[in-house]
Structure 1
């Protein structure tokens, strides 16, 4: 019998994208019929992802910088969202959000903690709060600082950029 293995990352990301759609559809007030299409477009799932180079999760408990860089290759505006995935080893142990501190360098020059969600051994940053409009032929650069806080942690840091229609 032929079997097929679906990578855990694909399952997690599909579940996250699908979970967002019913919530968005159910949150529109009855009197907001005119604004519903615009709000639905704003919360729609990404149409694709640009995977950036990954790296092993450092285990020395020191802060390490992770930079997400993406250039809009088109001449039109594009809605994008940078995302950091931290993938646990397939055989475990699975990472816990309490083991990792992820911070984003904001425009005010200070580091702000970014919450991490977890599903099936993958820690990830939310897409909706990270959405921005990137003008045609412009470049997005986000600087993150990642620190392993507890225990011997193994895994992979997988930055990427979500692309919206």
Structure 2
């Protein structure tokens, strides 16, 4: 069979299979019990940020020393707002890509101690977790978070991009 006649047949077969699947799934889906829906009576912060306040970027310095990065944000709105500080450690577009083992990130706690922050990784960018950093900032209040970044791989190249997630 030539490829010019087999392609339409394959496409027709795919449509027939999909249609049969929908026809069989329709009654089963209609008979399935549905979960009860609830309506929230109080406003809740979205699980997904509605925006970001980007702060000044700095080069990732691979000299083996710790470098402090301060994330500061003032809630100028008239209401409390949920925010989350985040550090992005961005690799150069052309690589080499950063690995979590290349960098150590620490966060200064309210008690003045440094605690190690786990890093996620996606498409050459390392990042701190937003869900663990979420907090409510009163109207007119200022958030000031201090991080310490130490590059453990002398060949690592990148940019430190601090930002505040806004909910």
Give TM-score, length-normalised by structure 2: 0.74
Q: Distance in 1 between matches of 2:129 and 2:65?
A: 24
Do structure 1's residue 69 and structure 2's residue 55 form an aligned pair? Answer: no
In 1, are the aligned partners of 2:62 and 2:153 still within 8 Å (CA)? no
Q: Can you give the 5+ residue segments of structure 2 that lack an aligned partner in the other structure?
A: 1-33
Shift of the alpha carbon at 1:43? 5.7
Query: Which residue of 73, 78, 87 maps to 2:90?
Result: 87
The alignment partner of 2:64 has SS state of coil
Following TM superposition, by how much is the alpha carbon of 1:68 offset from its aligned partner in structure 2, in angstroms?
0.2
Q: Tell me how far apart the structure 2 counterparts of residues 106 and 42 of structure 1 sit (CA, whole Å).
A: 24
Out of 52, 58, 61, which is 2:55 matched to? 52
The reply to whether residue 138 of structure 1 matches residue 138 of structure 2 is no
Point out where structure 1 has 5 or more consecutive residues left out of the alignment. 1-29
Query: Is this contact kept in 2: 1:43–1:128, CA < 8 A?
Result: no
SS of residue paired to 2:132: helix
CA RMSD of aligned residues (A): 2.1
Aligned residues: 133
Task: Compute the displacement of 1:93 (Å).
Answer: 0.2
**Within the alignment, does 1:159 sit opposite 2:165 as a pair?**
no
For residues 56 and 75 of structure 1, do their structure 2 counterparts lie closer, same or farther at Cα, with a shift above 3 Å needed?
A: same
What whole-Å deviation, never above 9, does each CA across 1:86-131 have from its counterpart, x for those lacking one? 0000110000001100000001110000100000000001111100
Distance 1:33 1:141 in 2: 39
- Highest CA radius of gyration, 1 or 2? 2
